[in-house]
Amino acid sequence: MQIDLSEEQRLLRDTCREFADKELRPNAKKWDREHRFPAEAVKKLFELGLGGVAVPSEWGGAGMDNVSYALAIEEISRGCASTGVTLSVNNSLYCDPIAKYGTDGQKESFLTPYARGEKLGCFGLTEPQAGSDAAEQRTTAVRKGDSYLINGTKNWITNGPVADAIVLFTMTDLSKGTKGITCFVVETKTPGFVRQKADEKLGICASPSCTIFFENMEVPISQRLGQEGDGFKIAMSTLDGGRIGIGAQAIGIGRAAFEEARDYSKIRKTFDIPIFQHQAIQFMLADMATALDAARLLVLRAAWLKDQGKRHTRESSMAKLFASEAANRVADKAVQIHGGMGYSKELDVERHFRDARITEIYEGTSEIQRLVISNLLLK
């Protein structure tokens, strides 16, 4: 057992922490309010090698491990949760399945530029009628000679409004359920790829998402990831990795909220003493810190298992579920410790409170995580 970071991991974490303090924290409130995608900050992070942290260097990535990746996402998300998920989607949901299932040709065109951070990817699984129940896909891909004709709708596509390509899930055989799902990788400039206006959301307002229509979009067979019918397997194994990213994002949000509450409790006085001297406040802070520490261990263990090439479905679900619920509790208590100031847009805590909420919904709701965990337990 060795619950310690390597020199390389520590360096990456510290670099990200410093970047978050300098470039993200001072601006995140503004980006949130203006619903502005922080393109410049994302570009700088990509220049630091955060486009494909765990992608092998031969395909343009940083060639590091998933533990490093999780540490980076936590630090970035502590500065700006929207920026955190932008990176998480490009790393986990876009690059990872191509690195794992793509041919060398596909990797050259669709992985290298994205892992290098020259381009940005997104992931299209969810549909208006198919969220938790991914088998209810209605986007179809019909084989026509050497290509497929794709029609349908995807929604809540994070990075959708700004992405250059999408890992897209379709039905090639509606009668086969999950076995009829087929995956493609498609550039967003392809004719028939029609973006709708960006979604208006409760939180992560600087992370643009949108609905996308596919209208007779023609995609060559060379852009099919894996075989027909492999899509569900690809989606599920991708989410095993994605959940590590969202778990790390949740911890970053929770930590930001916690640190602000801790520092505020030392300044703010009631009944003649700083509020941190009241046990009611101390105990809230103690529970917040305990939950975040446990969450981080769950996330790092899942990442470590992924690095060992071991199955980590259950551990990723536990990490994501625990971390997202912890982040929501922590952010809620951080608002409470701040009192009226916590409810005000003048400070950052209300944003953390809003941002935390999505982590219990996307990449599998808390309910889906519990299904995954209990199904594996009962096997």
> Rule CB under 8 A: which residues touch other proteins?
1-6, 9, 67, 259, 262-263, 265-266, 276, 279, 282-283, 285-287, 289-291, 293-295, 297-298, 300-301, 304-305, 315, 318, 321-322, 367, 369-371, 373-375, 377-378
Joined tokens for residue 134: 């991914």
Answer for the pair 302, 312: CB distance below 8 angstroms, yes or no. yes
* Smallest separation, CB 268 to other proteins (Å): 13
C-alpha torsion sign, points 93, 95, 97, 102: positive
Instruction: Give 228 or 315: the residue with its C-beta nearer to other proteins.
Output: 315
* Smallest separation, CB 294 to other proteins (Å): 4
| DSSP codes joined into one string, 152-181 | EEEEEEETTTT-SEEEEEEES-GGGGGGGE
* Smallest separation, CB 300 to other proteins (Å): 6
Interatomic CA distance for residues 112 and 110, integer angstroms: 6
Answer for the pair 235, 181: CB distance below 8 angstroms, yes or no. yes
The residue to which tokens 């969202």 are assigned: 246
* Smallest separation, CB 297 to other proteins (Å): 4
- Return the closest-CA partner of residue 229 out of 153, 175, 185: 175
Joined tokens for residue 56: 């092998």
Instruction: Give 235 or 261: the residue with its C-beta nearer to other proteins.
Output: 261
SS3 266: helix
Instruction: Give 2 or 175: the residue with its C-beta nearer to other proteins.
Output: 2
As a three-state string, the secondary structure of 289-321 is HHHHHHHHHHHHHHHHHHHCCCCCHHHHHHHHH
Longest C-alpha distance within the chain, in Å? 79
* Smallest separation, CB 255 to other proteins (Å): 11
Q: In whole angstroms, what separates CA 124 from the centre of its chain? A: 13
Choose, from 23, 315, 350, 363, the residue flagged as catalytic.
Answer: 363
The residue to which tokens 């509450």 are assigned: 261
Instruction: Give 146 or 280: the residue with its C-beta nearer to other proteins.
Output: 280
Instruction: Give 168 or 302: the residue with its C-beta nearer to other proteins.
Output: 302
The conformation of residue 235, written as its DSSP 8-state character, comes to H
* Smallest separation, CB 225 to other proteins (Å): 30
Instruction: Give 4 or 104: the residue with its C-beta nearer to other proteins.
Output: 4
Please say if 346 is a catalytic residue.
Answer: no
The residue to which tokens 């536990």 are assigned: 318
Joined tokens for residue 301: 């263990």
Please identify every residue annotated as catalytic.
363
